[in-house]
Amino acid sequence: MSLDNVRVVLVKPIYGGNVGAVCRAMANMGLSDLALVAPRPLDEDESRMMACHARGILEARREFPDLPSALADCAMVTGTSARGGLYRRHARTPREWAPAAAAAARAGRVALVFGPEDNGLTNEDLAVCTHIVRIPAAEDYTSLNVAQAALVCCYELFLEAGSYEPPEEKSPPATTDLRERMFDIWRRALLDIGFMKEDMADHMMLGLRRVLSRGALTVDDVNIMMGVARQAEWAARREGRG
C-alpha cells in the first residue's frame, strides 16, 4: 500500500495539541509515519487528547535533530508554505500535487513537511524540498493551523491513492415503468381522497411529477410513495363506507 511510504514531518512544532491533531488527521487518511524535527518537549496530555484514537502514531513518532536527517531516505520531499516569494512561486495546490505525490509514493519513500506554528518553513528548509505546496485560502487569512493544513494535504493524497470507496446506494434507481405505476396509484388516490377532480387530474399530476422527479428516485423511494398513496386510498374508501 503506497500510503505507507508517506512520512509527515513536523519541523519544530510548538504545541502538543497540534502534534496530536496531526496524528489524528494522518490516521483518518491512512498514514502512520510521523517524524518530528527538534520539537520542544511535548505537552503529553494535550497531544494525547487531540490524537484521540490515533495515539499509536503519536507514540511511534521519531525525533530528529535536523530536517535533512528526517528526510535522509526520502525521494520526493514536499514542503508546505502559506507565503509567496523566493521558491514559493513554484508552489502547486494540494490537488495539483497529489497525483505526482501518489506516483512517487508507489516508487519510494516521500515526505510532506510542515513548519513551526509561528513562522512556517524557512527558505533554508524549503531549499531541501523538491516540491512546494500552498493551500488555496482567502486572501485575508492564508495561514492555516498546521494540523488542518496536514489534513488537507493528506486528504488529497488519500483520494488520489483511491483508497476510498463511496457509500453505496443499495436500492437501484427506479425505472420509468415503476415510476409510471407509482403515478397511476397516486392519480387514483388523489381522485379518491378528493384532492382533485377528473377534469383537472392531468394538470395536477404534472405538479406531483415535477416534485417527485427533482431527485433520482430509487426503487425503495418508489415503494414508500406507492405505500402512502395506497393507504390514503384505502382510508378514503373506508371513510366513504363508514
Question: In the numeric block, which cell numbers belong to residue 212?
Answer: 417527485
* 101, 132 contact by CB (below 8 A): no
Judged by CB under 8 A, the stretch of 50-58, 186-194, 202-210, 232-240 that binds its own copies is 50-58
Q: Using CB under 8 A, which of 41, 65, 124, 136 touches its own copies?
A: 136
Stretch that binds its own copies, among 84-92, 119-127, 174-182, 190-198 (CB under 8 A): 84-92
Q: Which is nearer to its own copies, 129 or 190 (CB)?
A: 129
# chain residues binding its own copies, by CB under 8 A: 46
223 binds its own copies (CB under 8 A): no
Q: What gap in Å lies between CA 69 and CA 79, rounded to an integer?
A: 15
Smallest distance from its own copies to CB 177, Å: 23
Q: Binding its own copies by CB under 8 A: which of 73, 119, 127, 164?
A: 164
62-64 vs 33-37, strand pairing mode: parallel
**Among 9, 10, 19, 29, which residue sits at the site for its own copies (rule: CB under 8 A)?**
29
Instruction: Tell me if 29 sits within 8 A of 154, measured CB to CB.
Output: yes
Tell me which residues touch its own copies (CB under 8 A).
Answer: 17, 21, 24-25, 27-30, 50, 52-54, 84, 88-93, 95-96, 134-138, 140-145, 147-148, 151-152, 155, 158-159, 163-164, 166-170
